[in-house]
Structure 1
Amino acid sequence: MAAIQDVAFPASTGRPMRAALALGNGGTRRPGVIVIHEIFGLNDDIRRITARVADLGYVALAPDLFDTRSARVLCVLRAFLALRRREGPAFADLEAARAWLARRPEVDDARTGVVGFCLGGGFALLYAVRAPLAAAGVFYGEVPRAAADLRGVCPVLAGYGGRDRLFASQGRRLEQLLAELHVSHDVHVYPDAGHSYMSRHTGVMATLAAWGPMAVGFNAGAEADSWRRIEAFFRTHLG
């Protein structure tokens, strides 16, 4: 698996923001991919996922959107508020991350993608409407209700868990909206999976969340198929 480097890039305020960078192998310039974390922030699980993206042949960068001077709970609340309002510092920080990644010598600045999970999935989808991206991966993220809110979005790959009573219907809505907009897409709802099926959460909270309405938990089959789909979709649209 690709090695992870701890780096910092200038956020939208100019202040350094932490991030995880995975270069992978390759002697030529290759596409960059922004990886957007879940509500838990830039943890070891997101680092693992970032390395996995790099293994597909990309330069992957996972910014820590919670790396501000505020308490973590305020960072989370502001992120959710930005997601609902479709504007805010988080979107500006994602653009700063994309610009920084595009300037790296290993990156082909003409080809950039994004992939996000849970909270990050919602950001990935909305960011893909406003940014010059070639492909977006959206996993169990929030979806707008109107097609107009997604007008201009790049090709979208998405995955949702059918046992997730809060987000499964959003996956089905996403497929309908993208079809209405005639946007190239691959959306799949996995019947046996719940929320965060690609993450390997541990501890008491993970155990309790598995019994909640979102049925949070890792699902090996859904994860494996999602990585297969990511590789194929990104290869087609990102290169």
Structure 2
Amino acid sequence: MTADQPGVARRQVLQGVLQGLGGLPLAAVLANPALAQAAAETLTDVTIETADGRSVSGALALPETLPAPAVIAIHEWWGLNDQIKTVTAEFARQGYVALAVDLYDGVVADTRERASALVRSIDDIEATETMAAWVDWLRAHEATTGRLGTVGWCFGGGWSLNTAIAAPVEACVIYYGRCDRPAEAMARLQGPVLGHFATQDGYIDAAMVDRFADAMNAAARSYTVHWYEADHAFANPTGARYDAADAQLAWARTLDFLGRHLRA
């Protein structure tokens, strides 16, 4: 093998990703570190300044046809890793201007202890300003139609809802994220919320989701909740709790929900 052959092979993988993830299902790409890395590298790094003068970064993926509605993807407690970037690339393949935000300033955790520490380090006010800045930036971007949704997983699921409250959007998707906000906060929502929750989840449990539903009802806001016979993080193919059937069903429901509310 010559020194150039690995580079050639890698470029071929990357080209396959650029051509619709090589025709592979999203789960297959996510389960393969090399493919996920190649998919992640198709995104473009972007940086903006928040209202309080901080520089924040994200990764942008554009669809073939523009302008298009936009989707903000918000990472799990691990940080903005190749998994989330790959899902963002798939949103672009589905026809959305897709942005993966980074709430950890470039840090990615590789242990649960590190991830937990990163979550605790988040300043809620700063994170809210960061998300509001990205919403404003995407709405004004020439590539978008001005219609926008948020999608988040775990830590990011909670921030998907927080973002929709702080800078109202047309659609919000929560994958097993913290959702027990008061009715007065929910009243600021302008679009519907879709929630994916797991019956075996020991933290984002039925009691929390019931509080979410009560608050949404009190605020007269539209929402849909789906329960899955699975555990927390069931949609992450890189984790031990992955449930392929439920992940596929949740993904199909997410795409249907976003299509109905962002392409109107």
Q: TM-score, normalised by structure 1?
A: 0.81
Matched to 2:61, the amino acid is A
Matched to 1:117, the amino acid is W
Choose from 225, 233, 248 the match for 1:187: 225
Distance (whole Å) between structure 2 residues aligned to residue 148 and residue 55 of structure 1: 37
| 2:18 is equivalent to residue 18 of structure 1 | no
1:117 maps to: 153
Equivalent pairs counted in the alignment come to: 216
Percent identity at matched positions? 33
Distance (whole Å) between structure 1 residues aligned to residue 144 and residue 220 of structure 2: 29
| 2:198 is equivalent to residue 198 of structure 1 | no
Q: Is the 8 A contact 1:172 1:189 kept in 2?
A: no
Deviations 1:127-151 (A, max 9, x none): 2112131000111111225322311
Secondary structure of the residue aligned to 1:8 is: strand
Counterpart mapping for 1:1-239 below 5 A: 1=20, 4-12=42-50, 13-26=52-65, 28-67=66-105, 75-79=118-122, 82=124, 88-109=125-146, 111-144=147-180, 146-153=182-189, 154-169=191-206, 170-191=208-229, 193-201=230-238, 206=239, 217-239=241-263
Q: Is the 8 A contact 1:163 1:195 kept in 2?
A: yes
Distance (whole Å) between structure 2 residues aligned to residue 172 and residue 22 of structure 1: 35
Q: Is the 8 A contact 2:43 2:85 kept in 1?
A: no
2:11 maps to: none
Say which is worse superposed, 142-151 or 226-235, in terms of deviation: 142-151
Deviation at 1:75, TM superposition (A): 4.5
Matched to 1:223, the amino acid is A
Distance (whole Å) between structure 2 residues aligned to residue 173 and residue 118 of structure 1: 17
Distance (whole Å) between structure 2 residues aligned to residue 189 and residue 177 of structure 1: 18
Secondary structure of the residue aligned to 2:43 is: strand
Secondary structure of the residue aligned to 1:39 is: coil
Deviation at 1:177, TM superposition (A): 2.8
Q: CA separation of 1:221/1:199 partners in 2, compared to 1, >3 Å: closer, same or farther?
A: same
Q: CA separation of 1:198/1:174 partners in 2, compared to 1, >3 Å: closer, same or farther?
A: same
Deviations 1:3-25 (A, max 9, x none): 63231221425454331211122
Q: Is the 8 A contact 2:148 2:262 kept in 1?
A: yes
1:85 maps to: none
Deviations 1:89-128 (A, max 9, x none): 111111122222233321112x111111111111111221
Q: Is the 8 A contact 1:8 1:16 kept in 2?
A: no
Q: Is the 8 A contact 1:35 1:115 kept in 2?
A: yes
Q: Is the 8 A contact 2:192 2:223 kept in 1?
A: yes
Question: Relative contact order, CA 8 A, sep 6+: which one is greater?
Answer: 1
Distance (whole Å) between structure 2 residues aligned to residue 163 and residue 227 of structure 1: 19
Secondary structure of the residue aligned to 1:52 is: helix
- Consecutive unaligned residues in structure 1, runs of 5 or more: 83-87, 211-216
Rg comparison, structure with higher value: 2
Matched to 2:142, the amino acid is P
Q: Is the 8 A contact 2:183 2:218 kept in 1?
A: yes
Q: Is the 8 A contact 1:9 1:17 kept in 2?
A: yes
Q: Is the 8 A contact 1:68 1:75 kept in 2?
A: no
RMSD: 2.3
Secondary structure of the residue aligned to 2:133 is: helix
